[in-house]
Amino acid sequence: MAEIHPFRAFRYDPTRVAAEQVVTQPYDKITPEMQGRYYRASPYNLTRIILGRKEENDNPANNVYSRAADYFRKWREEEILRQDRDPSIYAYSQRFRAPGSAASDPQLERRGFIALGRIEDYPAGVVFRHEQTLAKPKADRLELLRATRAHFGQIFMLYEDAGGVESLFYTEGQPDTLVTDEYGVEHRLSAIFDPRKIDAVQRAMKDKRLIIADGHHRYETALNYRNEQRAAEGDGQSSTGGKPYEFVMMTFINMNSPGLLILPTHRVVHSLCCFSDEKFRQAAHSYFDVDEIDGPIDGAHATTILREGGRAGTVLLAVTANRSFLLHHPNPNVEKVLVGLSLRQQDLDVVQLHKRLLESVLGLSQESIRNQQNLSYVRDADEALALVRNGKANIAFLMNPCRISQVRDVAFAGEVMPQKSTDFYPKLLSGLTIYAVE
């Protein structure tokens, strides 16, 4: 089912630039502060391509996309970026500690490999999504792809396996690239160009179904670009063709890997008129059992409360400037708010939060949630708590992370979760390998 191929990646020449100075986090994780730091790190930093700065005199002929194409062309001409001689797949491992863990805690390791994967329409039953996408990010990525005709980051793909695939590509040897990112994550990359090993991996992956963990917008951008190219060439049915635009760069990781970590993404609600924590408590009581927690709590305490409470089912923590509420045991008598949702969806804490609290109690519309009009997403619990205590938000909702089994079941059923339901950690670095479709 999953069709993968080796490719001749463009990679930064380590004799010309240090990897730490040029590779980056994915474009959608780059804050303005990070963008400035990346720009200062090197004139060849990938941010200039994947998230370039806008200029006052930008016009249709000179803009972030045209400049990105110029950088990519010049860096290849200068051999800052050099294409590998042999078609390869690339073993990629990440060694890290979970955010908030102690330095003495053992490291985790997540192992995968980078290769080209055939772009499949969702109805084909090969590639599955678990989150919805928005039009604006896809339009931006499509303009960049049209201009550069290259993919600079990988789609994070999950497959299910007992470990046999990993044994075919994993190696303990010295990697080609070793870089530690700003979060202390160690990234190790090694090219595998032995045809026998590549063939073994290809055969082992043939029966796999794939779930997009991260990169939904970039995957659908690649799909739209593929369709554009097919139309331009008059080839509307090229489902088995070998044209470069039929493929996109992917990192494949076993969803049963002990190093697969999903973090929660907390919700912070702001700019509500006439918000009252007592009115919230009373309204929430129609949907959950509500226990008020005495005294202030910090992120570590909140995480412990949620982890222990989550053993019995859905549990959420709502925190205002002066009060904290533990919400648990959803009231089955008000299931009307979940009408139309499968039991798989109803089992998700994030769905319970959105339907019962954000929409029903606080009155936020689905459109306003999609547009983040009164809602922001925060990974760190202490940051979320600080926003409400500093008066910058009305209420913060903290939750447990989604389980990988839930992601799998929802995706394979052809369903999607609310946006920002999962936060796979760590992120895949952009710029380790580059795939040119020209």
Using one digit for the tens of pLDDT, what is the confidence trace for 13-72? 999 999 999 999 999 999 999 999 999 999 999 999 999 999 999 999 999 999 999 999
What residues does 108 pair with on adjacent strands? 96
Whole-angstrom distance, CA of residue 346 vs CA of residue 413: 14
Same domain, 120 and 236: yes
- The structure tokens listed for 169 are 């590509």
Residue 26, in any domain of the structure: yes
Same domain, 226 and 296: no
239 pLDDT more than 70: no
Residue 409, in any domain of the structure: no
Same domain, 301 and 243: no
Same domain, 286 and 380: yes
- Using 50, 70 and 90 to split pLDDT, how confident is the model at 336? confident
| Domain of 240, in residue numbers | 4-261+425-436
Angle, alpha carbons 433-435-438 (nearest 5°): 155
Same domain, 274 and 322: yes
Percent of residues, the chain, with pLDDT higher than 70? 99
Same domain, 115 and 236: yes
Residue 413, in any domain of the structure: no
For range 330-343, the mean pLDDT: 87
One DSSP character per residue, 267-316 reads EEE---TT--HHHHHHHHTTTSEEEEEPS---HHHHHHHHHHHGGGS-EE
- Using 50, 70 and 90 to split pLDDT, how confident is the model at 238? low
- Using 50, 70 and 90 to split pLDDT, how confident is the model at 101? confident
Whole-angstrom distance, CA of residue 32 vs CA of residue 22: 17
Same domain, 288 and 378: yes
The pLDDT value recorded for residue 425 is 97
Residue 415, in any domain of the structure: no
**Helix (H), strand (E) at residue 234:** none
Residue 407, in any domain of the structure: no
The pLDDT value recorded for residue 5 is 98
The pLDDT value recorded for residue 104 is 85
Whole-angstrom distance, CA of residue 151 vs CA of residue 145: 7
For range 93-115, the mean pLDDT: 93
pLDDT mean across residues, the chain: 95
Residue 284, in any domain of the structure: yes
The pLDDT value recorded for residue 17 is 98
Long-range contacts of 136-140 (CB under 8 A, 24+ apart): 137/28, 137/217, 138/217, 138/220, 138/221, 138/224
235 pLDDT more than 80: no
Same domain, 58 and 141: yes
240 pLDDT more than 80: no
Overall number of domains in the chain: 2
154 pLDDT more than 90: yes
Which segment of 74-88, 176-190, 274-288, 335-349 scores lowest on mean pLDDT? 335-349
Asked if 8 and 35 touch (Cβ cutoff 8 Å), the reply is no
Residue 406, in any domain of the structure: no
CATH number at residue 330: 3.30.1760
Same domain, 220 and 298: no
Residue 417, in any domain of the structure: no
The pLDDT value recorded for residue 241 is 77
173 pLDDT more than 90: no
The pLDDT value recorded for residue 140 is 96
Same domain, 395 and 322: yes
- The structure tokens listed for 313 are 């089912």
Same domain, 246 and 281: no
Same domain, 163 and 111: yes
